[in-house]
A and B are shown apart, each in its own frame.
Chain A
Amino acid sequence: MSEIVVKEDLTPVTKLFEVRAPAVAHRVQPGHRVQPGQFVIVRINERAERIPLTVADWDRERGTLTLVVQEVGKTTMQMGTMQPGDRFASLTGPLGRPSEVENCGTVLCVGGGSSIAAIYPLARALREVGNTVLSIIGARTRDLIFWEDRIRSVSDELIVCTDDGSYGRQGVVTVPMKEMLEAGRRIDHVWAIGPAIMMKFCALTTLPFGVPTTVSLNSTMVDGTGMCGACRVEVGGKTRFACVDGPKFDGHQVNWDMLLARQCIYLDQEKRAVEKWEQECRSLGGPHGATQALR
């Protein structure tokens, strides 16, 4: 099933994988009505952990899914060394509820970091059903911006931001967002996907303007099918499982502090895993050697 057919380096730390998974690709787009927002759980090898990855694109004819992965820890770093022809040990999906894509007028899509990829199919779908689509994408620095042209091709307007000002506007995504809202631009709905802290501030920015804001929560997951509650979040004062009830939720109802706290649970172990991986890479002649040896 999950053989890598295409690999592309989008940035020095962001990799694109087009993966063969015909049954899943078929399900992500039932009846050709676009349903972005779902995810898969991937296990790269027999000893690997299960990690959730958003489906950034799909091709029914080729029977493939596109996954965009930023190297942030041991598993994603090791995944970054995988090549076309390599296979993931398992891929499960599609999981989560599909996003409800409706024509509500003018929508603002905001993507941060590797979630710029998730914004693409969303903006495309929103536009296909007749919305005017405004997009803002942002990253720490110029090197981490990718798919600018793709996002532009499905947006009526696009603003690119970098924290350090090395490309596009200097500042975080909420700066232009707030300007638009204060200027009285018509915005009927905001979609924000990115790091939890970015989504939190997007939701805080739209709250005083009363603009409905949908976010895609990236809590820790294990099975992704609702059997454990690792991914639990609080929305509107109620405990919900992001893997089955989400991952999309009303950003104004999310308990952001709890989400941010729960994302810190395994920081120590994550650090240890990275250190061990880097040590293996050194002793086995680079990351690719380490991946070969660990197979």
Chain B
Amino acid sequence: MAKVEPRNEMPRQDPKVRIRNFDEVALGYSHEQAIAEASRCLQCKKPTCIAGCPVQVRIPEFILCLSEGDMWGAVDALKDKNNLPAICGRVCPQETQCEETCVLRKKYEPVAIGRLERYVADWEMGQGVKTPPRAASTGKSVAVIGAGPAGLTCAGDLAKMGHAVTLFESLHAPGGVLMYGIPEFRLPKSVVHAEVEYVQSLGAELRFNSVIGKLHTVDELLDNEYDAVFLGTGAGLPRWMKIPGENFNAVYSANEFLTRTNLMRAYLFPDWDTPVMIRPRVAVVGAGNVAMDSARSALRLGADEVHIVYRRARDQAPARLEELENAEEEGIIFHWLTNPVEILGTERGWVTGMRLQKQELGEPDSSGRPRPVPIPGSEYEMDVDMVVVAIGTRPNPMVFTDQPDLVRTRSGTVVANEDTGRTKKPRVWAGGDIVTGAATVISAMGAGKRSAADIDAYLKDSDQPWWVELELDQQS
């Protein structure tokens, strides 16, 4: 094997500069860097990277085209499987997916597949996006509920297959978490808009401000116009710690804080109308990507100091390592093995601090990670003026209004077959966070893709049995 060159670093904004703006942190490869990185790929006869990708992008093929300078060939190979590559290239945790299964990883650093995907997708956007051919109309129609990663992927694939697709979105903008959750400095909204326009160019009709469960029920959609329904409504209901003081002024759910900041552009207040509060000392509870996004947004909005409080250790933080490191570089202060037990406030209801308790690691819990165990007598107080709670989300039950036959688990997720996306209710499929609970953008896209394939198969031959109990037994 020839000597493998080191992986090409991607230029990033200087931490001292970037904490003052909402511009994208990672700047993307130059053409030379992209070609150099592409040439590191060994073009394996039996590529292992593809198996690591939830939507099975033909990775070596698009990289080969890129290294040979055939940019449109790279675009075609990439977009054959992935409708949203500019997004995936930015927010996928490649280190646990395609790059984890790259053969180079055994001895060297893996090929920077995500960065190359981003490069190709951004190049195409610069050229003007091509619309691929669409299959002849099948005469069937599908309602896709929720324009997040799962819904967009499902809608895009179904439209390509020739079905009439209507995408219902409750907010005034598309993208779901891509728009309201992930900040501009990690995923520019112009990129999301461009990818959504691509899905629309495939033929999917997007209807905003349509809250299913209120404006229409799922049954009404099935009875009136649609042959099938796909639920991709995500997990958008915030979890709370259920400790005293959580309703004080200046305690935000991460959903509210990020929605104000990202979707409503409160970082541009008063040029944009939505305000967001920022106070000098901010604490964010949790250590997932949402916590990192909240902490780094708070810093950019002008907080003097931002703390992250997490009940487990750094090794167990669910955030991507890259985002954790970005946060550390930007000066976020971490308090590991620390859990809030109370939020303290003034008589007029404003936050003044938190009572925290130190934790130690115990036996593994159901997640396989060591359980945090409180250390008695270790309580102490920390002065903070604002708290953002980022400890997770659950599915919003709104879409299940008057749908008792849409069977759900105790944690509020809908029961669906993992391979097909079929729920217990005939002609209703589901995928993404509504099935798995909060997970990743790309796993939601994978689920949208599998459901689209099954919806297509079902619409062509609906005589097959809807739900085989055996499948469920195997799953559990």
Contacts and interface: CB of A to CB of B under 8 A. Distances in A.
Interface stretch (B197-205, B266-274, B318-326): B266-274
Contacts of A93: 211, 214-215
B339 interface: no
Nearest to A27: B215
Q: Would you call the interface of chain B mostly helix, strand, loop, or mixed? A: loop
Contacts of A47: 265, 271-273
Interface in B225-270: 236-238, 240, 246-247, 249-250, 253, 255-256, 259-260, 264-265, 269-270
A49 B259 contact: no
A293 interface: no
A261 B398 contact: no
B273 A273 contact: yes
B214 A27 contact: yes
B349 interface: yes
Interface string A40-71: 00010001111000000000000000000000
Q: Would you call the interface of chain A mostly helix, strand, loop, or mixed? A: mixed
A15 interface: no
Nearest to A262: B249
B211 A232 contact: no
Interface string A227-238: 111101010000
A92 B259 contact: no
Interface stretch (A151-159, A164-172, A263-271): A263-271
B270 A272 contact: yes
A47 B274 CA distance: 8
Contacts of A94: 214-215
Interface in A185-203: none
B349 A92 contact: no
A265 B250 contact: yes
A49 B264 contact: yes
Contacts, number: 107
A257 B345 CA distance: 14
A230 B247 CA distance: 10
B275 interface: yes
A1 B247 CA distance: 36
A222 B249 contact: no
Nearest to B255: A228
A290 interface: no
A33 interface: no
B211 to A, nearest CB: 6
A135 interface: no
A258 B347 CA distance: 10
B215 A228 contact: no
A92 B238 contact: no
B33 interface: no
Contact of B238 (A90, A229, A257, A261): A229
A223 interface: yes
B255 A229 contact: yes
Which of B271, B273, B350 has its CB near the most chain A CB atoms (within 10 A)?
Answer: B273
B274 A228 contact: no
Which of A1, A92, A95, A244 has its CB near the most chain B CB atoms (within 10 A)?
Answer: A92
A258 B211 contact: no
22 contacts: A43-B172, A50-B264, A75-B273, A90-B209, A92-B171, A92-B209, A222-B256, A222-B264, A225-B170, A227-B238, A228-B259, A229-B253, A229-B255, A258-B349, A261-B349, A262-B349, A265-B250, A269-B270, A269-B275, A273-B269, A273-B273, A276-B270
Given A47-B272, A272-B270, 20 more contacts: A48-B273, A49-B273, A74-B273, A75-B273, A92-B171, A94-B214, A222-B259, A222-B274, A223-B171, A225-B170, A226-B236, A226-B398, A227-B396, A228-B255, A229-B256, A230-B256, A262-B249, A265-B277, A266-B277, A273-B275
Interface of B: 170-172, 208-211, 214-215, 236-238, 240, 246-247, 249-250, 253, 255-256, 259-260, 264-265, 269-275, 277, 348-350, 396-398
The 5 closest A-B pairs by CB, nearest first: A261-B349, A269-B275, A228-B256, A227-B236, A90-B172
